[in-house]
Chain A
Amino acid sequence: MSCHFEEDLTAYVDEELPAARRAQVEAHLGTCAGCRATEGLLRHAVARLAELPDFAPSADTRRAVLARLDALPVPWWERLKAWWRPAVLVPSAGLAAAVGLALVVGGPAREALPEELEDATEMELVANLELVEDYELVGLDDADDLEVVASLHELEVAQ
């Protein structure tokens, strides 16, 4: 093929040419038997391609993809982010506040606090870390959850 319109024939068949170029190609097809033959060949091929059977992937593909996602390692920032969720932060902050309040109200005067009690809030939090983790495990959607958390270890022992 040496006709310089030939390169545009597939785009013409696909209706992908700008209007002006389309009109030029149309006019050319009226005068060029070679391009008319090629256009016919292309149209016929495009029609035959529509007859090809479709490819249907197996149903296992979905299961396999989801299993591969499950096997992906959790990035460290995602693990860190999990500790900043309200379900962890709220009980932790509440616990810390309660301990702090108890120390201020019921404890000796602040200036009399021995050095080892300066970090009492943190110590209390560390001592109750397991409880905080239980809150994280169960979640805190309603009052019943508090009861479940309180009894979690009894349930574990019972099992």
Chain B
Amino acid sequence: MLKVAAGDRRAFAWLFDRYHASVARFAFRFVGDRERAEELTQDIFVKLYRNAKAYQPTARFKTFLFRVATNHCLNEVRRGEYRVAHTSMETPEGDEAGAVEMAGPDGDRPDQALAGRELERVVGEALRDLSARERAAFTMCRFEGMAYRDIAEVLEASESAVKSLIHRATLAVARRIEELQAGAVPARSRA
């Protein structure tokens, strides 16, 4: 990162290759839209490059990166430039194009693929209903495997606050998944 601060493009390219999938995944779960997630990923890395001099070597790089990513996504949501839709997590009937970008083990059997899409849909709906900070904390915890301590550092919050954010979010998602399994969530239930 210090090399990036000195304008080293190759160092930046290395960081991009190593971390862009994580940032894209985070942005996707945060906004629920593939195209917007890619735009946000671009914005975040350009911002990272421009603000590389602000990086303190005492901080873990991933924490620094996710602080940039989280702040950018939170600001975007606050500015209301787009809604947190999660609509593109849904794949229209008969349209398999949406599944192309989603690399997963459920592509082999149609029933598994359908179950995967339904799971994707209810998780997306649950995330949409969370507060932005709950969604950010949940995403870093569940999809990036980050420790509560690191999430607290990213969100500039106490570990206790992060524990509450993650608990509320996980419980909300768990209840949606439970409803899906019980058959209480009709397919295409979104208004």
Contact partners of A38 in chain B: CB under 8 A: 171
Stretch at the interface among B18-26, B58-66, B69-77: B18-26
Contact of A68 (CB < 8 Å), options: B25, B42, B123: B42
Answer yes or no: B191 CB below 8 A from chain A CBs: no
CB-nearest residue of chain B relative to A47? B177
Q: How far is the CB of B154 from chain A (nearest CB, A)?
A: 15
Answer whether A54 and B102 are a contact pair too, CB < 8 Å, given A10-B171, A49-B173, A62-B20. Answer: yes
Within 8 A of A (CB), among B26-52: 28-29, 34, 37-38, 41-42, 45-46, 49-50
Interface residues on A, range: 20 to 34
Contact partners of A117 in chain B: CB under 8 A: none
Answer whether A61 and B103 are a contact pair too, CB < 8 Å, given A41-B174, A45-B170. Answer: no
Q: How far is the CB of B82 from chain A (nearest CB, A)?
A: 17
Binary per-residue interface labels of chain A (45-89) against chain B in the complex, 1 for a CB within 8 Å, 0 otherwise = 110110111111110111011101100100000100000000000
Answer yes or no: B83 CB below 8 A from chain A CBs: no
CB atoms of A10 and B166 under 8 A apart? yes
Answer yes or no: B153 CB below 8 A from chain A CBs: no
CB atoms of B103 and A56 under 8 A apart? yes
Within 8 A of A (CB), among B94-118: 99, 101-106, 116
- Please classify the interface of chain B as helix (H, G, I), strand (E, B), loop, or mixed, using the class held by over half of its residues: helix
Answer yes or no: B147 CB below 8 A from chain A CBs: yes
Answer yes or no: A140 CB below 8 A from chain B CBs: no
CA distance A42 to B167 in the complex (A): 9
Q: How far is the CB of B10 from chain A (nearest CB, A)?
A: 11
Within 8 A of A (CB), among B136-171: 141-143, 147-148, 163-164, 166-167, 170-171
Contact of A16 (CB < 8 Å), options: B9, B20, B29, B163: B163
Contact of A45 (CB < 8 Å), options: B7, B38, B147, B177: B177
Contact partners of B106 in chain A: CB under 8 A: 51, 53
CA distance A45 to B170 in the complex (A): 8
CB atoms of B17 and A62 under 8 A apart? yes
CB-nearest residue of chain A relative to B34? A55
Contact of B20 (CB < 8 Å), options: A10, A54, A61, A69: A61
Contact partners of A78 in chain B: CB under 8 A: 7
Q: What are 12 pairs between A and B in contact, CB < 8 Å?
A: A10-B170, A41-B175, A41-B178, A48-B119, A53-B106, A55-B25, A55-B101, A62-B16, A65-B41, A65-B46, A69-B12, A78-B7
| A interface residues with partner B (beta carbon < 8 Å) | 7-11, 14, 16, 38, 41-42, 44-46, 48-49, 51-58, 60-62, 64-66, 68-69, 72, 78
